[in-house]
Amino acid sequence: MSQDALSTLLDTREWLLADGATGTTLFNMGLTSGDAPEMWNVDHPDRVRALYQGPVDAGSDLFLTNTFGGNASRLKLHEAQNRVGELNRVAAELGREVADKAGRPVIVAGSMGPTGEIMEPMGPLSFDGAVEMFHEQADALKAGGVDVLWVETISSPDEYKAAARAAELSGMPWCGTMSFDTAGRTMMGLTSADMVKLVDGLPNPPIAFGANCGVGASDLLRTVLGFAQTGTERTLIAKGNAGIPKYVEGHIHYDGTPELMADYAVMARDCGARIIGGCCGTTPEHLRHMREALETRPKGPAPTLEAIAEALGGFSSASDGTDDKGPARRERRGRRRG
Amino acid sequence: MAEEEDDIILSELDDEELVAQMMDDLYDGLAEEIEEATNILLERGWEPYQILTEALVAGMTIVGHDFRDGILFVPEVLLAANAMKAGMSILKPLLAETGAPTIGRMVVGTVKGDIHDIGKNLVSMMMEGAGFEVVDLGINCEAEKYLNALEAENADILGMSALLTTTMPYMKVVIDEMVAKGMRDDYIILVGGAPLNEEFGKAIGADAYCRDAAVAVETAKAFMARKHNQASAG
């Protein structure tokens, strides 16, 4: 079996530049709030091509398809749960078209976001149910020609496992990132070190794993440092937001400048990430600065937390749960049950 | 482990120990134990309202604080809220019979144009866990829907959620509509969602921005206490 395109590219390159924002970029192109971005794959293929072309022109080596909410659970909110196959396949085909015209290797990564459901036993979604939804999406992305599946913004370890299983069923290589947005952990309480264990325990581990979205660029790098400190040798992904959204005179903008994201990109590499990109608020302009910084500035030693805070801003919480300095669980007053 | 389990026979604990045990059991999300303990306290003659406030709500306050402080996370909180609800389902009909005061009633929903609901669902569950009655309007709510529900449900609190920077400004549309109808001051308005912050909450005229579900509960309680004080003073 021949090696997948992403692994081949990683063999020849020290780092890869991923893409930036999808959602915030589409809104800037006129997507109306409340509409499913995935509909545009069919209704406005020209705009989706333009979305993909942005990072390619800015120097990205990899971009994600417009399929983040393309699973049956999310599309159901738009009564489009029966269009999973079509919307994902078309998104992938458009991506293939743009990538193949780039004149250099560009990876098309099939984005798979969370189902939005809470899994058993806390919520209604069963493991098998989640696998089924991800599998349906994965098959469609494969049919449309993506190089790799790209599972992202996951917070539940079971949902991550379900996506891994779906990739296995589809016979596809995959990457998977989680969102660490709650005091340095995922919403479900997973620390960076926990995620390394989770990935190590999978029967079909991803080509690369890491963090995306979350709070700001500083928090994201703390998470990447956390991965690296476990000694993992797997390829790490950093896809952080361009700062934090601010509400100024009726408009929202992310406070991360292209210069700041350039510093972030270089620091992400120093922290140990090899696939580096942005998330919400990251425009092609940011990506251009990131590419230039990665090409022109030398790789350095991993930064300290202080250096990250100094360069990119403070952290959202004092501890991220990996240093035993975080708040401790309360003492029980009654007797413990078995 | 079975030995330890045998150690605790809820009916043999005195009231103080039993309440302490209930707090631990809430913390650990043990629904059956909470049901049992609630029934024991009722048999011992506790008023339903006393059980609600001194055992269940007090226990969930600890859970809420530890969630706020990053000690507990969503899975534990959901299990705790489920356990709380198990006790609450026993108390609810009794509370209605005895005419006990309600802790507060909230109408909550994700704003128009926004389809994200996990944060809003968490707030719903934690508010219920804290003893509030919650009317959940779901996602993509127009101003009219909020306003009608507030009046129909005789609510105290309006909760609005948004995950998108493009949809959060709609909160102001809703509040402006309430102002125009002269009903703004009848309700406590709480807003939340990942891209929001305190500044934004102030700018649009909400009473408070709540960083997470635990903060929403604390804030709702504080505002309700103020409302009750004003009512008794007036």
- pLDDT tens-place string over residues A221-245: 999 999 999 999 999 999 999 877 6
The pLDDT-based confidence of B2 (bands split at 50, 70, 90) is: very low
Q: Two tokens at A164?
A: 């891994």
Q: In chain B, what residues touch A68 (CB-CB under 8 Å)?
A: none
- CATH superfamily for A5-220 is Homocysteine-binding-like domain (3.20.20.330)
Looking at chain B, the whole-number percentage of residues with pLDDT higher than 90 is 65
Query: What's the pLDDT score for residue B166?
Result: 74
Closest CA–CA distance from residue A6 to any residue of chain B (Å): 31
* CATH 3.40.50.280 residue window(s) in chain B: 105-233
- pLDDT given for residue A248 in this prediction: 65
Token pair recorded at residue B187: 């309700």
Q: What is the CATH number of domain B2-98?
A: 1.10.1240.10
Res B165 pLDDT > 90: no
Which chain B residue's Cα is nearest to A320? Answer: B70
> Residue range A272-301: average pLDDT?
96
Question: pLDDT per residue over A179-219, tens digit each?
Answer: 998 889 998 999 999 999 999 999 999 999 999 998 889 99
Asked if A222 is an interface residue toward chain B (Cβ–Cβ < 8 A), one would say no
Peptide bond into A284 cis (omega under 30): no
Q: Any CB–CB contact under 8 A between A28 and chain B?
A: no
CATH topology of domain B105-233: Rossmann fold (3.40.50)
> What are the residues whose beta carbons fall under 8 Å from the beta carbon of B227, sequence distance 6 or more?
B156, B188
pLDDT in tens, A43-98: 999 999 999 999 999 999 999 999 999 999 999 888 999 999 999 999 999 999 99
Contact state of B113 with A336 under an 8 Å Cβ cutoff: no
Cβ–Cβ contact A330 with B under 8 A: yes
What ipTM was reported for this prediction?
0.75
Looking up tokens 């504080």 gives: B222
B173 touches chain A (CB under 8 A): no
**A255 phi, psi to nearest 5 deg:** -85, 0
CB contact under 8 A, B165 and A245: yes
> What are the E-state strand segments in chain A?
16-17, 62-64, 107-112, 148-154, 174-178, 208-213, 235-240, 245-248, 251-254, 273-278
State the pLDDT at residue A250.
59
Average pLDDT over residues A317-335: 75
Identify the pLDDT of residue A261.
95
Q: List pLDDT tens digits, range A17-44.
A: 999 999 888 888 888 767 789 999 999 9
Higher-confidence residue: A270 or B100?
A270
For chain B, strand residue ranges (E) read 105-110, 133-136, 157-161, 188-192, 208-209
CATH 1.10.1240.10 residue ranges for chain B: 2-98
